[in-house]
Amino acid sequence: MSPTATFTQVTLFTDTDGRARFREHAIPLEEGTPAARLSALMPSGGMQLRESPVGFRSQFHCTGEPQWVFILGGQMEIGLQDGSSRVFGPGRHFYSADTLPQGAAFDGGVHGHWSRQVGDEPLVTLFVRG
């Protein structure tokens, strides 16, 4: 029997210290056929498309509601409070779930992440609420 295929989910989350971090875990692709393996059906709460111009950069912020972020065009860099960052290009994704801890007041020196467009073409993203 062959091992189960998986999809690697990159998640941006709020850790117990209130800081945003990345982690990865596997989503099993146990449905479908050997030629088209599928995950279990996941619920969603709508989607939005966004285009960010060359030069776009946000301030530190938290995700309002958890959502998948798919990069359709251009490149997006996500920076964390610890100084690390990741760049996501077309066809890449992450699940953004770094919400403000319950009862906390936003502190731009502790909470959240920043995002920016990288390169010479606009950033085009698809957001799918989780």
- The beta strand positions in 15-74, using DSSP E, are 20-29, 31-33, 36-38, 47-52, 67-73
- Taking all residues of the chain, what is their mean pLDDT, rounded to a whole number? 95
Number of domains in the chain: 1
The residue written with tokens 């099993």 in the block is 28
Where residue 2 falls among pLDDT bands split at 50, 70, 90?
A: low
| Cα–Cα distance measured from residue 61 to residue 22, given in angstroms and rounded to the nearest whole number | 15
Cα–Cα distances (Å) from 38 to 2, 26, 28, 97, 124, in that order, read: 15, 13, 8, 23, 25
Q: Do 63 and 111 meet the contact criterion of CB atoms below 8 Å apart?
A: no
pLDDT digits (tens, 9 = 90+) for 88-127: 999 999 999 999 999 999 999 999 999 999 999 999 999 9
Distance CA 128, CA 130 (A): 6
For residue 43, pLDDT beyond 80: yes
Residues of the chain with pLDDT > 90, as a percent, come to 95
Question: Any idea what the CATH number is for the domain that residue 12 is in?
Answer: 2.60.120.10
Amino acid 1: pLDDT: 41
pTM: predicted TM-score of the whole model, two decimal places: 0.90
| Structural domain that includes position 74 | 5-129
Average pLDDT of 18-45? 95
Residue 97: in which H helix or E strand, if any?
strand 93-97
